[in-house]
Structure 1
Amino acid sequence: MSVLCIVAHPDDEVLGVGGTLARHTAEGDDVHICILSDGVTSRYEDTDAADAEIERRRERAERAARILGATVSLHDFPDNRFDTAPLLDIVQTIEAEITEHNPDIVYTHHYGDLNVDHELACQATVTATRPLADSSVDRVLAFETLSATEWSVPKPDNAFQPTSFVNVNQHLDTKIDALSVYEAELRDSPHPRTIATVRQNTEVWGSKAGVPAAEPFEILREVRR
């Protein structure tokens, strides 16, 4: 089985779906992570400082992917400004990744996330994975990203309501190891993006699904061929 994970920024892949990706690779699946933006340039006015941090983030993304057993590619859409890029460009980038990796399953952000890059990454992914006759994609699932999904303005049409759960109990330590690579993106408690909160969150979702630890997903599309 081939798996493709489409995320906006480095660390989103681990926060949202790291345990599931680790489980896929442990079960022998091919996993590739597509990161659409560097995730840091919006924080810097100095170009040299931004370039140095971009390189550090690239190295961290590659290290995290190795821990998960995945490969990774990074693109250069403007951080926290996906709404300034033509949506078609994002769609075509994802389509190229799909052509290269021929995935059966695609994971991406939830459409209701507070972060505009997450929202548009989801929209572009759903567009790129439209169910054409020659498509390899059987399932498209949206994941929760702590400090983005739960912080969105609540509306009836954007709530994260998971319909699928993956037991990641045996792979939770791998998720935490990969997340620790992104130490600079973690925060002090109380905050959703701490090691303790990430671990506890999988346990809460697990208790709702009847397993020790779980990552939750909302099924955006499923085709049974």
Structure 2
Amino acid sequence: MNVLAIGAHFDDVELGCGGALAQHAARGDKVYVFVATVSGFTNQYDQSIRSSEIARAEAEEAMKILGVTKMYCGDFKTLEVEFVDTLNIQLLTLVQDLNIDMVYSHWTGDIHHDHQAVARASLHSCRHVPRFLMYRSNWYHSTVDFRGNFYVDITNFWPVKERAIRAHESEMERTGAKWISFFSNEAENAGQRIGVRYAEVYEVVKWLQA
């Protein structure tokens, strides 16, 4: 199986579907990742919080941990991603050239501007892919509900996911590693609902059962 995980920023796929990606890789599937932005950003006072160079280096290490076959990178600036042909063509080309069978991407209800744009582009550009799941990669509330209705048991792969998240050392320092506790709790809660220790939960766009 050829799998494509799509994220707006370096660390999104690790947070949202890192356990599932590690599981795919362990099974021998080819796992590809596309990240739309260079991921460096400044705060409202024009102070640099994370450089694009550091963000990419950390992401490359995270991809190795997850067992990703190859990572592809766009050149949008953080907070400047739009639903435009530039992004759609990049995704369409990857889907066709890599013969993608399954896609993981952002949830369309996410309040983050970049996440929303990438979600819309993914729905458009991956419309012919037979399996499509949406993930959440942050803790912010939205005006719509995330309808988590598809579970992946990641009990054996939570340690891999955690290592991949921790590879983003600049973000760990900035957030005090709060992402770890939050997503660990999320995975435990999801797992409890289906009788396993850790799980990731997704909203299904479509799922073709062969």
TM-score with structure 1 setting the length: 0.85
- Say if 1:42 and 1:80, in contact at 8 Å, map to a contact too: no
1:198: which partner in 2? 183
Opposite residue 204 of structure 1, the aligned amino acid is N
1:142: which partner in 2? 134
1:65: which partner in 2? 63
User: 5+ unaligned residues in a row in structure 1: which ranges?
Assistant: 132-136
Q: Residue 210 of structure 1 is aligned with which of 184, 190, 195?
A: 195
Q: Residue 151 of structure 1 is aligned with which of 141, 162, 180?
A: 141
**Structure 1 224/166 Cα, relative in aligned 2: closer, same or farther at 3 Å?**
closer
Q: CA shift at 1:74, angstroms?
A: 1.2
**Structure 1 123/224 Cα, relative in aligned 2: closer, same or farther at 3 Å?**
same
1:134: which partner in 2? none
Provide the identity percentage. Answer: 29
Q: Deviations over 1:82-130 (max 9, x none)?
A: 13xx522111111111122211110000000010111111110010012
What is the correspondence of 1:29-178 to structure 2 with a 5 Å cutoff?
A: 29-43=29-43, 45=46, 53-70=51-68, 71-83=70-82, 87-131=84-128, 137-147=129-139, 150-152=140-142, 154=143, 158-178=144-164
Superposition RMSD in Å: 2.0
- Say if 2:22 and 2:157, in contact at 8 Å, map to a contact too: yes
TM-score with structure 2 setting the length: 0.91
- Say if 2:36 and 2:73, in contact at 8 Å, map to a contact too: yes
Q: CA shift at 1:42, angstroms?
A: 4.6
User: 5+ unaligned residues in a row in structure 2: which ranges?
Assistant: none
May I ask how many residue pairs the two structures share in their alignment?
Answer: 206
1:17: which partner in 2? 17
What CA distance in whole angstroms lies between the structure 1 residues aligned with 2:41 and 2:93? 24
What CA distance in whole angstroms lies between the structure 2 residues aligned with 1:101 and 1:31? 10
What CA distance in whole angstroms lies between the structure 2 residues aligned with 1:210 and 1:146? 24
- Say if 1:42 and 1:79, in contact at 8 Å, map to a contact too: no
2:2: which partner in 1? 2
- Say if 1:60 and 1:181, in contact at 8 Å, map to a contact too: yes
Opposite residue 100 of structure 1, the aligned amino acid is D
Q: Residue 188 of structure 1 is aligned with which of 176, 190, 199?
A: 176
Q: CA shift at 1:78, angstroms?
A: 2.2
